[in-house]
Amino acid sequence: MHIYDYSNKDEPKLSDVQSVTKIRESNWMYPSVTTILGIIPNTFIDIWKVKRAIELKGNDPELDYEAIVQIMWGQPICPAIGKKIASSDFGTAGHDRVEKLINAHLDGEDLESDPYDEFAKPVVEYILDNDFEPVATEELISCHKMKIAGRLDLVARKAGKICLLDYKFRDLTGRDTGKFYDKDCYQLAIESHMYMNSSGLDYKPDIYSVCICNATGRVFVKKWTQMMLDRGIFKAQAARDFYFKENLLMGHLI
């Protein structure tokens, strides 16, 4: 769970709070977009998780819950130490390196090489080679009406219009395509809606999911259609309403 503290709207920040109870206590604690989307069920994933957990436990009865969860989602090789790490840790490091490289490009600076460059540089090269003009990285976006917030991996300009990009580091071994899920779209869609409103645009920014193989560094990009963008907004708004009602947060609204 991620919660953003908007008690000072000029300096919002990620909160250390990890409790819905704390959101009820303050009008300015906003759950993240990914948190509210987590309430949307996915029957396929739920069944897969049970089957995968049974398989892993059967192969190694000594595994505890935490180890099973970590292995379940994959353990890519960390290029810095040459050992397996949690896929979430790999993704965090990969995101951080892409951000640093793009910011260095914006500032006209050169960075020293980094072990994660083999995964981050292909992303930056794709962005620059395909006429995306980076505007901002890791930009915090919110809606004070819906009381939710999110963080945009990249705000860019393409053909004169703003667009939003989100990175996903995933195991694509043996595949010639990326792994893209509807929730990837829902996340970007509601953030596009929020960005349009907060920036006074007369259009919803186009949205792109960037999937990077955490084994090979290959990059696959999906531009979501306008139909999926609109569907994603509807789904995310419905998830937000259900999340607030389910967690007794309706009184949290102004």
Q: Which two tokens stand for residue 148?
A: 């939710």
Between vectors from CA 124 to CA 172 and to CA 108, what angle results, nearest 5°? 160
CA separation for the pair 3, 150 (Å, rounded): 9
Strands 161-170 and 206-213: parallel
pLDDT at 167 exceeding the cut of 60: yes
Average pLDDT over residues 94-117: 94
Task: Report whether pLDDT(181) > 70.
Answer: yes
Are the C-beta atoms of 182 and 64 separated by less than 8 Å? no
How does DSSP classify residue 24?
Answer: H
Average pLDDT over residues 42-65: 78
Query: What are the structure tokens assigned to 203, written together?
Result: 């259009």
Per-residue confidence (pLDDT) for residue 135, from 0 to 100: 96
Higher pLDDT, 57 or 181: 181
In this structure, what token pair is assigned to residue 180?
């893209």
CATH 3.30.1490 given to domain 3-252: no
Question: Tell me, what's the pLDDT at 52?
Answer: 78
pTM of this prediction?
0.89
